[in-house]
A and B are shown apart, each in its own frame.
Chain A
Amino acid sequence: MRVWETQGQRLKLVLNICVLGLALFSFSRKDTTFRSTSAFENLMIDSVTPLQRGVTFLHGEISGIFEHYVNNVSASKKNIELTKRIAQLEAEMFNLEEVQKENQRLKGYLEFGSDLNIKKILGQIVSWDSSSDYKVLRINKGIKSGIRLQSPVVTSSGLVGYIYRLTDHYADVLTILDPSNRIDGLVSRTRAHGVLEGDSDDRLIMKYVTRTKPIILNDTVITSGLGNIYPKGLRIGRVARIERESYGITQHVEVIPEVDFGGLEEVIVLVSNLDEVKKVEWEALDREDQEKR
């Protein structure tokens, strides 16, 4: 008896080969740095994500009502304490105003960040990735809000990740906890370079740090600015473990992120006009070339 004797079996074999071939081809061509979306994917993601957003919103509202009730009970006690505290703070505020003026003056001297012209977009986390293999979160801002692919994402504590996939109204953020997200980092104190990769749900590994670099526990690790994704100086985390073997040229460094991913609710997307600056530079170079000819 032949294995593929009927028409149905032959069709099944052909379809298996075609779909497998297509999947393998697409898998091998997949870009690890970002994922572009087709018009249909864009439409579908924008259609299904409101459901995710609705669930998150509903949970927030319900837990908000409950917390509000519990908070009311202890509010009267706190009220008395806070009245005293206000009087104290009013006195401190006068001093702070002076500090603020001084700070603005010094910032003007340094011209800190003025050349970067970074736009900050606040996004709310809607959901997490459907596969636990990927440390990706979805936010409620997309192309329409001005977000671009590969824009860095931060909180006030430090670096969260970058925009990996983008639709009109939503964006997927590849967090620094994901093993495929590699960041060129710098130990703030010693200026030792290394490449950070997500290792588990709560830590990163800093690779290729030379053994001779004197790193100590709790050293702050920041972004080096290399790689064209993250600007220099964003806080990544703190050194939590160091292993130096008697052989080899590098040391094993583990870093705990500054950002508490467990309690993350909102993030800030930094969108720079660096592309526009580059475009202007290229145009200027082109003009220069044409003039020479």
Chain B
Amino acid sequence: MRSEIKNVVAPMLITLVILIVLEVFATSLLPVFGVKQFILPFNIAVVLFFGFRFQTPYLPVFILIVQYFHSFFTVEGWEPGTIAGIAVCIVISYLRDLIHFSSAAATMIVTQIFQTFWFVVVSGLIYMRMGDVTYIVDKFWRFVPESIVISLLSPFLFMIFEKVWSMSEGGLLGDEL
């Protein structure tokens, strides 16, 4: 079975190292060049890749690990991203037959759609906590440019992750289950 633990540990560690490098880039390098208002959420790209490419039952645990490592770089914590990530991946699992990554443009569009769904879930959680719509409106205006950049980068990022996880194009990890 391809999704056995021993086959997952090494690629997962490499994915986490890539995530840490990307987070350092987003939190240290971009702000020194004056980009402080918009921080690229690379963790969403990783979780979406997992959602698109994995059918393993351990997917929620993978999301939890990614979000936990993301929480070292933000006071947001691992919780909202984990909830949003699992919700998004459940939706993806139902729409899997409709999703195709036939071209870079298709990958970007699909990534943008699911990032929007992620935004809706996280905004719902924030609204439950703060009860303030103004904050969510502000968040939306930050989300638009950030998500577009992530969508534009997604074909390249997904290509790297496919190599890390030794996947063929369009393949699924754990699809025997």
The interface residues of chain B lying within 8 Å CB-to-CB of A56 are 28, 32
A172 to chain B, nearest CB (A): 6
Given the known inter-chain contacts A129-B76, A132-B38, A136-B74, please indicate yes or no for A15 contacting B58, CB distance below 8 A: yes
- Choose, from A44-52, A143-151, A221-229, A277-285, the stretch at the interface: A44-52
Q: C-beta contact mask, B96-129 vs A, less than 8 Å → 1, else 0?
A: 0000000000000000000000000000011001
Q: Is the CB of A132 within 8 A of B39?
A: yes
A287 to chain B, nearest CB (A): 40
Bound Cα distance from A132 to B141, whole angstroms: 11
Bound Cα distance from A111 to B74, whole angstroms: 41
Given the known inter-chain contacts A16-B60, A59-B29, please indicate yes or no for A136 contacting B39, CB distance below 8 A: no
Bound Cα distance from A199 to B63, whole angstroms: 31
The interface residues of chain A lying within 8 Å CB-to-CB of B76 are 129-131, 133-134
The residue in chain B whose Cβ has the minimal distance to the Cβ of A205 is B134
| Chain B residues within 8 Å of chain A by Cβ, number | 56
Most chain A CB within 10 A, of B23, B31, B39, B86, is at B31
Bound Cα distance from A60 to B29, whole angstroms: 11
- Choose, from A5-13, A76-84, A248-256, the stretch at the interface: A5-13
Bound Cα distance from A60 to B82, whole angstroms: 35
The interface residues of chain B lying within 8 Å CB-to-CB of A11 are 57
Given the known inter-chain contacts A35-B77, A132-B38, A132-B142, please indicate yes or no for A24 contacting B31, CB distance below 8 A: no
Given the known inter-chain contacts A56-B32, A262-B36, please indicate yes or no for A19 contacting B86, CB distance below 8 A: yes
SS of B interface (majority): helix
The interface residues of chain A lying within 8 Å CB-to-CB of B71 are 41
Bound Cα distance from A200 to B36, whole angstroms: 12
The interface residues of chain B lying within 8 Å CB-to-CB of A199 are 134
Q: Is the CB of B78 within 8 A of A23?
A: yes
The residue in chain A whose Cβ has the minimal distance to the Cβ of B34 is A262
Most chain B CB within 10 A, of A6, A59, A261, is at A59
Whether, in the assembled complex, B53 has its beta carbon less than 8 Å from a beta carbon of chain A, the answer is no
Q: Which of B21-38 contact A (CB under 8 A)?
A: 21, 23-29, 31-34, 36-38
Most chain A CB within 10 A, of B21, B39, B60, B82, is at B60
SS of A interface (majority): helix
Bound Cα distance from A201 to B82, whole angstroms: 27
Q: Is the CB of B32 within 8 A of A59?
A: yes
Whether, in the assembled complex, B13 has its beta carbon less than 8 Å from a beta carbon of chain A, the answer is no
The interface residues of chain A lying within 8 Å CB-to-CB of B78 are 23, 26
Instruction: From the candidates B61, B74, B77, name the one contacting A30 in the complex (CB within 8 A).
Output: B77
Whether, in the assembled complex, B5 has its beta carbon less than 8 Å from a beta carbon of chain A, the answer is no
The residue in chain B whose Cβ has the minimal distance to the Cβ of A59 is B32
Q: Is the CB of B79 within 8 A of A26?
A: yes
Instruction: From the candidates A19, A164, A165, name the one contacting B63 in the complex (CB within 8 A).
Output: A19
A142 to chain B, nearest CB (A): 14
Q: Which of A116-144 contact B (CB under 8 A)?
A: 126-134, 136, 138
Q: Is the CB of A130 within 8 A of B28?
A: no
The residue in chain A whose Cβ has the minimal distance to the Cβ of B37 is A201
Instruction: From the candidates B26, B29, B135, name the one contacting A130 in the complex (CB within 8 A).
Output: B26
B77 to chain A, nearest CB (A): 6
Given the known inter-chain contacts A27-B79, A132-B37, please indicate yes or no for A15 contacting B74, CB distance below 8 A: no
Q: C-beta contact mask, B42-73 vs A, less than 8 Å → 1, else 0?
A: 01000000000000111111011000011111
16 A-B pairs within 8 Å (CB atoms) are namely A8-B56, A15-B61, A19-B60, A19-B63, A23-B78, A27-B80, A51-B24, A52-B27, A52-B28, A126-B28, A129-B27, A130-B73, A133-B139, A138-B27, A165-B75, A172-B75
Additional A-B contact list (17), CB under 8 Å, known A16-B60, A23-B83, A134-B75: A15-B60, A16-B90, A18-B60, A19-B61, A19-B64, A20-B82, A30-B77, A52-B27, A129-B73, A129-B75, A130-B70, A131-B74, A132-B38, A132-B39, A132-B146, A133-B142, A136-B74
